[in-house]
Amino acid sequence: MRTSLPAPALALGALLASACAPRTPAQTPAQTPSPEPAAGPAPNAAPGAPNASTTASGARTPPGDGALSLPNADPFPSTYRPFPSRPTVIRNVTILTAAGPTIRGGAVLLRDGKIAAVGPSVDAPADAVVIDGAGKYLTPGIIDDHSHIGAGAAPAGSGTQTDDVNEATNPVTANVWVEHSVWPQDAQFPRTLAGGVTTIQVLPGSANLIGGRSVVLKVVPSRSVQGMKFPGAKYGLKMACGENPKRVYANRGPSTRMGNVAGYRAAWIQAEAYRRRWDAWLAGNRQGDPPARDLGLETLAEVLRGNILVHNHCYRADEMMQMIDIAHEFGYKIRSFHHGVEAYKIADVLAREGISASLWADWGAFKLEAADAVRPNIPLVDAAGARAIVHSDDASGEQRLNQEAAKAMAAGRAIGLNVTDDMAIKWLTINPAWALGIDDRVGSIEAGKNADVVLWSGSPFSVYSKPEKVWIDGAMMFDRLDPRQQWRTDFELGYVPTMAGGR
């Protein structure tokens, strides 16, 4: 379901002329898109693979040696750079750190894009903005590891052609990258930011056995998806089991669950052979012609090398167990099962295997494979020692993930589980950060981490609370009380009110 779109406050396109001018801390995120400097080295390149180069004019040349095209794990690197920021102190605030116990009446210093200090009190630099957080809560930025916004853009409906989530032309489409479907002007991005979400993983859909690569994005304005990409974050691989693939491909195959499994295994067998051919050629000092490139097998080979994280759509416990067996057979790891309405049945297995579970709070029974859903699923998985995650898979729910976590808390308490705020905040922050491989940089309020934080009007687990301010890398990207700090996209052109500040 799509949300209605309010009148725009400021359009990105109207300000492109100012994007190349130097920015000052007074400028707001709505006034300037993310700068796009020359690309740096690929963070996860395959062994022996060269990086794309950049000419003096800034034009990027294809990867490879002259006319020789070689695999490159990141031919489209992030061009994101943090927005201008000022030292900021938030004091007298309740801090849910996601790294330890709640700090009541505490303080945080944000400086140079990082959390510089956190504790009962901090020293405020002379040039710092000081915010009184009395009665308010501070949390890490929410991270949603299952989003489709940008690729499944708004508006949706007959004739809009904005749904670019599923490449439903073959059961295995490991060759597609969802970032090439992401529309940065999607009006759902600023609404997600206003819900306190600072990082998302955009995934391909679940029509296919193997749907392609995901991308991790900062929820910031940009003219290109590369300007939103989380620097250094690994790609993900979307896989799906169960009803969806066999329904979509019923007339072409697979049409059964056993056909699904045969399809996965065949793809991994091909990927193993492809990886061996390339490894042998690279180990042989690149003598002779290289193996023929295959974009889909390159992605699967990077999974086998451990450079791409597997995110697996799966509902039933027995099918999750089968997917674990396949992962063991071919030597890769599943990072997270998504949806997993029966995860509570195998929570001990998930804990033992080191697999997280990205789950809904109360979705279930909307199709047969979702029939055995229970509301305490998330806290039951947590209680077993596995990493539980609250995810959305829904543009509207993504704007209210704090309320989804609150529902899961209530369901756990109703069956006698001692679910605390300190536990539940991890479902929204550090646990999804781990699932995306970025927990060393975001997901908790600790000194040295990126300053992605949210100031709430009250407890984030209250239906009455709202995010008041949102910072990403120390830059205030949203202020509910200041229209100048509220991002609007070009798509929402219409009435643009007169504003003070930049043009």
Domains observed in the chain: 80-140+443-502 (2.30.40.10), 142-441 (3.20.20.140)
H or E, element range at 447: none
Question: Of 147, 36, 31, 54, which is closest to residue 432 (Cα–Cα)?
Answer: 147
Phi-psi category of 391—alpha, beta or left, where left has phi over 0 and alpha has psi -120 to 50? beta
The span from the CA of 208 to the CA of 392, in Å, is: 20
Of 210, 230, 218, the residue nearest 192 (C-alpha): 218
What pLDDT is stored for residue 494 in this prediction? 59
Q: How far apart, in Å, are the Cα atoms of 146 and each of 205, 337, 357, 398, 415?
A: 10, 11, 11, 9, 27
Burial (Cβ within 10 Å: 0-12, 13-18, ≥19) of residue 142? buried
**How many angstroms separate the CA atoms of 310 and 201, rounded?**
12
Contact 54, 40 (CB under 8 A): no
DSSP state of 152: B
Distance of CA 408 to the CA centre of its chain: 21
Residue 68: what pLDDT?
65
Residue 84 CB partners (closer than 8 Å, separation 6+): 23, 24, 25, 27, 475
Question: According to the model, what pLDDT value does residue 158 have?
Answer: 63
Peptide bond into 87 cis (omega under 30): no
Is 76:425 a contact under the CB 8 Å cutoff?
A: no
| Peptide linkage before 155 cis (omega within 30 of 0) | yes
pLDDT at site 234 = 98
- Cβ-based neighbour number of residue 403 at 10 Å: 18
Tens place of pLDDT per residue across the chain (503 aa): 333 333 333 344 433 333 333 333 334 444 444 444 444 334 344 444 444 444 343 444 444 444 567 888 789 999 999 999 999 999 999 999 999 999 999 999 999 999 999 999 999 999 999 999 999 999 999 999 999 999 998 877 666 778 899 999 999 999 999 999 999 999 999 999 999 999 999 999 999 999 999 999 999 999 999 999 999 999 999 999 999 999 999 999 999 999 999 999 999 999 999 999 999 999 998 989 999 999 999 999 999 999 999 999 999 999 999 999 999 999 999 999 999 999 999 999 999 999 999 999 999 999 999 999 999 999 999 999 999 999 999 999 999 999 999 999 999 999 999 999 999 999 999 999 999 999 999 999 999 999 999 999 999 999 999 999 999 999 999 999 999 999 988 777 654 444 443 33
Q: What is the pTM of this model?
A: 0.88
